[in-house]
Amino acid sequence: MLWFEREVVGALTESPDQPLRSSVESFVDGSLRDMPEHLRAGVAAESVLLGTYVAALRRAGRLPEGDAQALAAQLDRWEVSRIGVLRQYVRMMKSLVYFAENELAPAGAA
């Protein structure tokens, strides 16, 4: 899992529970590793490009450093982008995280 992917998973995971957050990250990591290679290569390339873009935004002071909510808001903007692969990137990461977080949370947890 690339550093930006880890950051995206962290921004999308709502629970503060650290073991649960780690389990979600581990599931997403396993899923990305198991993707068809050509799809994984495309996702990895996007992660590098988007991570670089986000780093540039942070350097320019347009995105607060270490602010998960700000990154989540940026992901929401990308989800309605006119660029198809960008939309699909966000939908895939959200699907993985939301599925894992809700399946892995202990029964009865909020």
Partner 1 sequence: MADLATDVLVVGSGAGGAITAAALARGGRTVTVVEEGPWVDPDAVEPFSLQEMEAKYRHHGLAAALGNPAIAYAEGRCVGGSTEINSGLYHRLPDHLVAEWRTAYAIDEFSPEALGGYADRVEHELSVAPLPGAPPPSSAALERGATKLGWRNVEFARVFSYDAQGRGTKQTMSRTMIPQARAAGARIISDCRVLRLLREGDRIVGARCRRTHSGGGVERMTIHADQVFVCGGAIHSPALLQRSGIWRNVGNGLKMHPTIKLAARFPHPVDHGDVPTHRITEFSPFVAIGGSANRKGHVAMALADTGAPFAEALADWENISVYYAAIRSDGSGRVAALRGVRSPLVTYSLTEADVSRLARGLVHLGELLLAGGATELHPSVVGGTVVRRLDELGGWWDQVTRARANLMTVHLTSSVRMGEHRARTGADSFGRVWGYSNLRVNDASLIPDAPGVNPQAAIMAIATRNCDHFLDVT
Chain contacts with partner 1 (rule: CB under 8 A): 14, 27, 30-32, 34-39, 76, 79-80, 82, 84, 87-88, 91-92, 94-96, 98-105, 110
Choice between 16 and 34, CB closer to partner 1: 34
Helix H, strand E, coil C: the string for the chain is CCHHHHHHHHHHCCCCCHHHHHHHHHHHHHHHHHCCHHHHHHHHHHHHHHHHHHHHHHHCCCCCCCCHHHHHHHHHHHHCCCCHHHHHHHHHHHHHHHHHHHHHCCCCCC
CB 22 to partner 1: min, Å = 15
CB 15 to partner 1: min, Å = 12
Choice between 58 and 94, CB closer to partner 1: 94
